[in-house]
Every structure is written in structure tokens, then in C-alpha cells.
Amino acid sequence: MFPINRCRCCKHYVVYPREDMRGCPYCDAFPKGIPFDIFTEKVKHDKPYPGDHGIQYEPAHPEAE
């Protein structure tokens, strides 16, 4: 099975990007772009992270976790 980026499994991840953000992953927590360390999972975003507006990872489909 292929590893799936955790951000893409989060309910806050934006699947259909704004025109100005095409090619740059973003979410409700990071509307100007997900930090590299979080997107690459160097840092797990289950705790507050600077600039996350109080929003952390929540599974989009908890039953699949």
C-alpha cells in the first residue's frame, strides 16, 4: 500500500484550491500554505504549531484511521 500524506487525510485540507494557491498545498490552519515540516511529516500536527490558528490535524474520515 502507498503511504498517504497525513495532510491530505485531514478534514481541514483544501482539496479544491483557490486560483492563487494552485500547486501550493494549504488548509484551514495554514491558508497561505502548509509549512514544509508539517507537509513532509517531519513535525506531526496533532499539537499546536505556530501560525495554525488553533486548528490541528483531525481525520477527514475517523472510521478509516
Convert the pLDDT of each residue in 1-60 to its tens digit: 556 789 999 999 998 888 888 889 999 999 999 999 999 999 999 999 999 999 999 999
Strand partners, 59: 10
pLDDT value at 65 more than 70: no
Residue 45 near residue 29 (C-beta atoms within 8 A): yes
pTM here? 0.85
Lookup: cell for 48: 499546536
In angstroms, the CA 10 to CA 27 distance is 9
9 phi, psi to nearest 5 deg: -100, 5
Residue 53 near residue 32 (C-beta atoms within 8 A): no
Predicted pLDDT at 64: 65
